[in-house]
């Protein structure tokens, strides 16, 4: 007991010393995430942030001051995240907030940001509600919208002669929104399609054998998959064992992201059309520079989509503060209007209409190469053409 106390005290002292030594005149950003609860996604994200921070600070920081991120763990609980956000703003004096993977935590911080007038850059959450139905002037979003990625897959699906579709998606808001977006876009392009079965396994609790049987029983021509993580692993294994993917085209949202494709190893599905991040395939330009820098900074590690998002988060913040010329909230808010940021994916813009960035997505076909799942014949697609019309967005966003 005593020992533990000593260790605790020592650790705490170290943390305090370490942070205060740096704190002299740095510009602080509050980064809230589920570092423990979602460790598989949050760790690469954090590494991306740290890489970009080193680059920014080596180049002299922003406004001639070092940029510093304060990382805080919310354990995946929206209530805790709101408390931590308040603390970061009022006690640690951070300029703005970033972070979160889980949509509900992102929405909780966004609601706080709107009420208390804090700037929040939602880097990773998947819910489009952040910038549309529940959007507010203080919340900005980096990650490619779910609607857009589903639309890209629907566009490809419409080119085939498949008409009977099955869908499988985790039973929560992101899953339902993704299926809805895919259906809407596909029906627009090809009105004769029908959806013969919709499967809704509970998130991370999939009963893969049963799901595969239910899909097989409906005899679809093609399948739209939204499951990810361990659900995807189980779905792919049961599905390939039972042959449900044979002779069917499968469209997978996020399936090509290294976070999900890599753990599958040589069992990765082949011939699926997916969105993802083929870092191994990029050959030149800023995309390749990022991959090289990442591999140099973390020997033995390869970049994930989370690493890229983390990296782009820092680049956004740096560009924002440089453009604003100050860390004042009003100046930052003004600077965010059509803010242009140079990223490994090329230039992205934070659209004034809905505070959504124009980060696009890589789409391609999965294959197994040298015992690893990869994306081949991929291309990078700009998102703007796939977004809902400006009128639709205005109608969705609450009056500002």
Which residues ranging from 206 to 235 are in contact with other proteins (CB under 8 A)? 207-211, 213-214, 217, 229-230, 233-234
> How far apart are the two ends of the chain, measured CA to CA in Å?
55
Candidates 110, 145, 227, 313; binder of other proteins (CB under 8 A) is 110
Of the pair 110, 343, the CB lying nearest other proteins is at 110
Which CB, 229 or 360, lies closer to other proteins?
Answer: 229
3-state secondary structure of 109: helix
- Of 263-271, 277-285, 326-334, 379-387, which segment contacts other proteins by CB under 8 A? 263-271
Interacting residue with other proteins among 8, 384, 385, 395 (CB under 8 A): 8
Position among 17, 202, 384, 385 found at the interface with other proteins (CB under 8 A): 202
Convert residues 88-107 into a mask of x (bound to other proteins by CB under 8 A) and - (unbound).
--xx-----------xx--x
Asked if 23 and 94 count as a contact pair (C-beta separation under 8 A), the reply is: no
Is 326 an interacting residue with respect to other proteins (CB under 8 A)? no
Q: Using the rule CB under 8 A, is 248 a contact of other proteins?
A: no
Question: Which pair of structure tokens corresponds to residue 191?
Answer: 């009105």
Binding mask 113-142 for other proteins (x = CB under 8 A): -xx-----------x-x----x--------
Q: Is 325 left (phi over 0), alpha (psi -120 to 50) or beta?
A: left
Rg, Å, the chain Cα set:
22
Q: Does 176 bind other proteins (CB under 8 A)?
A: yes
Nearest-angstrom CA–CA distance, 97 and 84: 10
Q: Number of residues in contact with other proteins, rule: CB under 8 A?
A: 76
**Residue with Cβ nearer other proteins (42 or 67):** 42
Tell me how far, at minimum, the Cβ of 41 lies from other proteins, in Å: 8
At a CB cut-off of 8 Å and minimum separation 6, what does 272 contact? 225, 245, 250, 251, 252, 255, 365, 366
Binding test (CB under 8 A) with other proteins, winner from 68, 156, 198, 382: 198
Q: For the chain, give the number of residues.
A: 400
Contact 258, 303 (CB under 8 A): yes
The secondary structure of residue 262, as a DSSP letter, is G
Please report, to the nearest 10 degrees, the dihedral formed by the alpha carbons of residues 327, 331, 336, 339 taken in order: -90
Minimum separation from the CB atom of position 2 to other proteins (A) = 10
Does 86 contact other proteins by CB under 8 A?
yes
* CB closer to other proteins out of 88 and 361: 88
β 249-256/222-225 pair status: parallel
Among the residue ranges 247-255, 264-272, 280-288, 350-358, the one whose residues contact other proteins (CB under 8 A): 264-272
Binding mask 24-53 for other proteins (x = CB under 8 A): ------------xx-xx-xx----------
What is the bridge-based pairing of β-strands 249-256 and 273-276?
parallel
Find the binder of other proteins among 205, 219, 340, 394 (CB under 8 A): 205
Exactly one of 23, 63, 66, 111 binds other proteins (CB under 8 A); that residue is 111
243 binds other proteins (CB under 8 A): yes
DSSP letter at 348 equals E
Among 238, 291, 303, 356, binds other proteins (CB under 8 A): 238
In which order are the strands placed within the sheet that holds 273-276?
Answer: 194-199, 164-168, 222-225, 249-256, 273-276, 361-369, 372-381
Task: Provide the H-helix boundaries in 23-102.
Answer: 39-58, 78-90
The residue (of 198 and 221) whose beta carbon lies closer to other proteins is 198
Q: How many Å apart are CA 328 and CA 6, to the nearest integer?
A: 41
Given candidates 60, 79, 271, 325, which one binds other proteins under the rule CB under 8 A?
Answer: 79
The candidate with the shortest Cα–Cα distance to 303, out of 269, 274, 278, is 278
């Amino acid at each position: 007991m005593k020992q533990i106390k000593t260790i605790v005290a020592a650790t705490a002292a170290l943390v305090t010393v370490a942070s205060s030594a740096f704190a002299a005149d740095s510009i602080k950003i509050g980064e809230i995430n589920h570092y423990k609860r979602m460790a598989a996604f949050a760790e690469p994200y954090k590494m991306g942030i740290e890489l970009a921070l080193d680059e920014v600070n080596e180049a002299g920081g922003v406004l001639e001051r070092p940029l510093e991120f304060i990382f805080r763990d919310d354990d995946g609980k929206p209530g805790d995240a709101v408390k931590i956000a308040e603390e970061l703003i009022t006690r640690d004096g951070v300029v703005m907030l970033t972070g979160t993977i889980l949509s509900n935590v992102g929405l909780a911080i966004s609601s706080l940001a709107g009420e208390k007038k804090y700037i929040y850059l939602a880097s990773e959450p998947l819910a489009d509600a952040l910038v549309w139905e529940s959007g507010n002037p203080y919340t900005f979003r980096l990650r490619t919208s779910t609607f857009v990625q589903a639309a890209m897959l629907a566009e490809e699906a419409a080119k085939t002669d498949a008409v009977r579709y099955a869908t499988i998606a985790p039973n929560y808001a992101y899953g339902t929104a993704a299926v809805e977006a895919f259906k809407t876009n596909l029906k627009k392009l090809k009105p004769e399609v029908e959806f013969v079965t919709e499967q809704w396994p509970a998130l991370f609790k999939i009963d893969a054998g049963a799901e595969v049987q239910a899909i097989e029983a409906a005899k679809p021509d093609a399948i739209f998959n939204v499951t990810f993580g361990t659900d995807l692993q189980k779905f792919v294994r049961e599905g390939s064992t039972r042959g449900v993917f044979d002779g069917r085209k499968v469209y997978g949202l996020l399936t090509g992201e290294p976070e999900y494709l890599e753990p599958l190893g040589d069992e990765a599905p082949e011939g699926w059309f997916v969105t993802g991040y083929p870092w191994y395939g990029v050959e030149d330009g800023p995309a390749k520079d990022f991959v090289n820098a990442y591999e140099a900074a973390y020997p033995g590690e390869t970049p994930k989509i989370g690493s890229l998002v983390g990296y782009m988060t820092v680049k956004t913040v740096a560009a924002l503060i440089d453009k604003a010329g100050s860390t004042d909230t009003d100046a930052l808010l003004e600077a965010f209007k059509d803010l242009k940021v140079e990223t490994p994916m090329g230039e992205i813009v934070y659209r004034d209409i809905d505070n959504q960035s124009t980060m696009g997505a890589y789409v391609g076909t999965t294959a197994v190469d040298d015992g690893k799942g990869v994306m081949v014949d991929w291309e990078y697609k700009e998102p703007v053409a796939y977004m809902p019309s400006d009128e639709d967005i205005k109608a969705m966003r609450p009056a500002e």
